[in-house]
Structure 1
């Protein structure tokens, strides 16, 4: 098979995010591995070399490669979103209706129940087509990988159908990683046996998800039903994540730390003592982009304190098709700086290398280093800090996924 070589040259700023193995913490969050007049050399879907243009252009492979001129632009890893929902609680006709009203964030279970009803009543092909449209839009805004939540209020058939839909749209055009949300609706006993005995083994065996998430509120730290789900998750080799109660995350965080979860999220009311506990743990803190109603917004003092105490943070849009919000990780970066008081470099680390580790993909994505997948974007800015001064502007000129151009800024004609 003929090798395909790609040479990206003359980037005004090449942000590599290269560094030590593992999620970044503290001062390391601001280390972007920036190369002025930088270049990438890519063979097929993997990065072969990274460095100054004047060195890379003299390599024999670079001379025969397809050239992408990045002059005057920033080149950086594709953005990674650590929490989205792809499946909608409505059908295409309802979504297109002018009087369709998004469900507010407080109706969380009602929203997922509607998703379950829609999945059971629609064909997989139809739902996949809707999901693919969303993924294409995310790619245009620079997102190369997403973690998709699935599972609440569904029976075994519906849960597995949703996860199979996620698998069917993987790399169409971006990487999709599923997390099965195992908390069985409002009734903690509802579906418990199915989740532990039937669904989790099937999810693991068919490789439909890498993580299991539970929703934990006040009093749930000793909830026997959640504990059984966590034990079953470990037994089947699935990672654990905890979605805390946004109004009182204390017991959810405690449960996550005791379970050695990969991450805990919805931390907007976390107190100083637990912030320190999260910072000392291997568990990451997932910061969700503030929604228009501010229902899932991380308080500025919480996000800033997590960073100052040394916690490993990742960033997510928290996008749901049924609610107002954004699927643009560029806008999430802007809000991380303006609403959460992160430094621009900290926000970039949280949306790339740390987000990759949060999804168990730190060895293959999240930074531009030899041996990693060639997922990157060219931006219409000459300095990465300009991204944080232009809210609502899509700065992506070009999106490359696994060495292939999947999105390009369109020309304007008149």
Structure 2
């Protein structure tokens, strides 16, 4: 199917197939009065005066702004407070709430979400939650990337050394056999796993075909350097990296994922994004929201908080939730920018100028969303 998006007021996008770092994060391209031709799921061309012959559908952007679909590289599939996994009734409640969270994200222009899954309990509970996310992936239009977060510091009913062994022997082995996740994330720091335990878990995960991430815990020390040593894709929740951390991450291409909404809700210091960007690092922004119903539910709010509290420019914020967000889930070659050959994940906004995005807290400008070239039903 060939689809043509016409009457675009501004096409706003970063460019490339990898994360933009340092000053490159400001390199947003703005084209006015152009059209986008989509063939099947991918962008075929961008320009003016496309012939209408062979076009199956025309979408009128009505002079609005078109951006790449937003990427949220840090959410959690948490059970609602007080809910235990003890039967089909609870299973239905949890899956409905997760589905509502995904629907909310789609309506605000997020087309790809990384979902961190952890019960912090027994191995069978971890696998059960991962199975639910796998079922959800098959039944929603949005793209879900599953991460097993096997380290929140609660070691179930077994001693912590047994917990590490159990994660590797039972959970990671099951993930490999059932293909239940793309990434393994380990919380490293006070109240979570030590550096040595983190190495052990992530090396085992790598051996099982999973890509690696690190979740910086309270009192984290040298987590950035550990991430560089293990060549992880991202270090999330990074708050106070050393110069050695920064140099190591820059050298190995680690993407720090910053969560301004987490600092906002928990009344904690905001991460020093300016220092990281000025040091030449690529930054991605995540919501840290729980899909079952808490936190910052809109990436537009995340951009605004980053601009107001992290010292980031609007252009840097846009890069951080599009191309760099895609890089944080290893998908920058497929999504995150509007370029021929990439998947046509697009959002059409009901605004005249992209600079209006910087002031959107609690408001969504989204008019239409396309996922792989098909217009999504927003309800």
Taking a change above 3 Å as real, the CA distance of residues 135 and 307 of structure 1, as seen in their structure-2 partners, is same
Match of 1:94 in 2: none
1:108-153 alpha-carbon deviations (Å, 9 max, x no partner)? xxxxxx56x3476755444222211111111111110100011241
Among 143, 146, 158, which residue is 2:113 paired with?
A: 146
Return the alpha-carbon distance in structure 2 between the equivalents of residues 219 and 260 of structure 1. 23
Return the alpha-carbon distance in structure 2 between the equivalents of residues 390 and 145 of structure 1. 20
Return the alpha-carbon distance in structure 2 between the equivalents of residues 150 and 252 of structure 1. 21
Match of 1:306 in 2: 276
Return the alpha-carbon distance in structure 1 between the equivalents of residues 314 and 376 of structure 2. 26
1:265 aligns with 2:236: yes
CA-based RMSD: 2.4
1:8 aligns with 2:5: yes
Taking a change above 3 Å as real, the CA distance of residues 273 and 119 of structure 1, as seen in their structure-2 partners, is farther
1:231 aligns with 2:206: no
Return the alpha-carbon distance in structure 1 between the equivalents of residues 284 and 319 of structure 2. 8
Taking a change above 3 Å as real, the CA distance of residues 348 and 224 of structure 1, as seen in their structure-2 partners, is same
1:13·1:73 contact (CA, 8 Å) conserved in 2? yes
1:319-363 alpha-carbon deviations (Å, 9 max, x no partner)? 025775211011111111111111111111110111111101112
* CA shift for structure 1 position 77: 0.6
Taking a change above 3 Å as real, the CA distance of residues 119 and 35 of structure 1, as seen in their structure-2 partners, is farther
Matches within 5 A, 1:356-367: 356-367=326-337
Return the alpha-carbon distance in structure 2 between the equivalents of residues 81 and 334 of structure 1. 15
Match of 1:42 in 2: 38
Return the alpha-carbon distance in structure 1 between the equivalents of residues 340 and 228 of structure 2. 34
Matches within 5 A, 1:191-210: 191-210=163-182
1:257-302 alpha-carbon deviations (Å, 9 max, x no partner)? 2111111121222344433433333111111133343456533xx2
Match of 1:345 in 2: 315
Return the alpha-carbon distance in structure 2 between the equivalents of residues 303 and 276 of structure 1. 15
Taking a change above 3 Å as real, the CA distance of residues 119 and 367 of structure 1, as seen in their structure-2 partners, is farther
* CA shift for structure 1 position 158: 1.4
Taking a change above 3 Å as real, the CA distance of residues 8 and 161 of structure 1, as seen in their structure-2 partners, is same
2:73·2:286 contact (CA, 8 Å) conserved in 1? yes
1:354 aligns with 2:324: yes
1:163 aligns with 2:134: no
Return the alpha-carbon distance in structure 1 between the equivalents of residues 234 and 72 of structure 2. 14
1:18 aligns with 2:15: yes
Taking a change above 3 Å as real, the CA distance of residues 221 and 118 of structure 1, as seen in their structure-2 partners, is closer
2:151·2:192 contact (CA, 8 Å) conserved in 1? no
Match of 1:95 in 2: none
Match of 2:147 in 1: 179
* CA shift for structure 1 position 238: 0.8
Return the alpha-carbon distance in structure 1 between the equivalents of residues 252 and 300 of structure 2. 28
Aligned to 2:357, the other structure's residue is in SS state: helix
1:197-242 alpha-carbon deviations (Å, 9 max, x no partner)? 1211221232211110101115989644332212211111111111
Aligned to 2:376, the other structure's residue is in SS state: strand
* CA shift for structure 1 position 195: 1.0
Match of 1:189 in 2: 161
Instruction: Give the aligned length.
Output: 373
Return the alpha-carbon distance in structure 2 between the equivalents of residues 335 and 193 of structure 1. 40
TM-score normalised by L of structure 1: 0.83
Taking a change above 3 Å as real, the CA distance of residues 321 and 373 of structure 1, as seen in their structure-2 partners, is closer
List gaps (5 residues or longer) in structure 1. Answer: 91-113
Q: Which fold has the larger relative contact order, with Cα–Cα distance below 8 Å and residues 6 or more apart in sequence?
A: 2
Taking a change above 3 Å as real, the CA distance of residues 164 and 42 of structure 1, as seen in their structure-2 partners, is same
Aligned to 2:261, the other structure's residue is in SS state: coil
1:154·1:184 contact (CA, 8 Å) conserved in 2? no
1:128·1:168 contact (CA, 8 Å) conserved in 2? no
Taking a change above 3 Å as real, the CA distance of residues 89 and 238 of structure 1, as seen in their structure-2 partners, is same
